[in-house]
Amino acid sequence: MLDTAENLTQIGNWSLVSFTKEKGRIELFLKLTRKNLNALLTFPPTPTFKPSFKQFCDSYDKLEEEYRNGVIDHKAWAQGMLTWGNNLYHSAKSTWS
């Protein structure tokens, strides 16, 4: 889960700095994040983490779809990635610490 949080943070940072210039890296990390999520979905989350994980998956699906359809507001999209990166990092740390 920490890998996913770090991926989201990196995607958000690249998006804020130069969305167009970093597009290749953003696409790669989106694919890696999707791969991580697909792997995580094969393991049921703990009952305490399940609501947060479900909310994240739903939100990530929307952010990923927004990317495919063409992000209009790069800063808002980046902020979504950064927010979820931060949320997942703290949830994972408290869940597995």
pLDDT at 29: 97
Alpha-helical segments (H) within the chain: 2-18, 23-40, 50-69, 74-96
What is the structure's pLDDT at 97? 46
Contacts of 54 (CB under 8 A, 6+ apart): none
Tell whether the model's pLDDT for residue 67 goes beyond 70: yes
**Which sign, positive or negative, has the C-alpha torsion 84, 13, 72, 38?**
negative
Tokens coding 57: 């998956």
- Between 67 and 41, residue with greater pLDDT: 67
- pLDDT in the model for residue 64: 97
Domain count, the chain: 1
| 84: confidence class by pLDDT, cuts 50, 70, 90 | very high
**Percent of the chain residues past pLDDT 90, beyond the cut:** 71
User: Shortest CA distance to 71 belongs to which of 33, 6, 14?
Assistant: 14
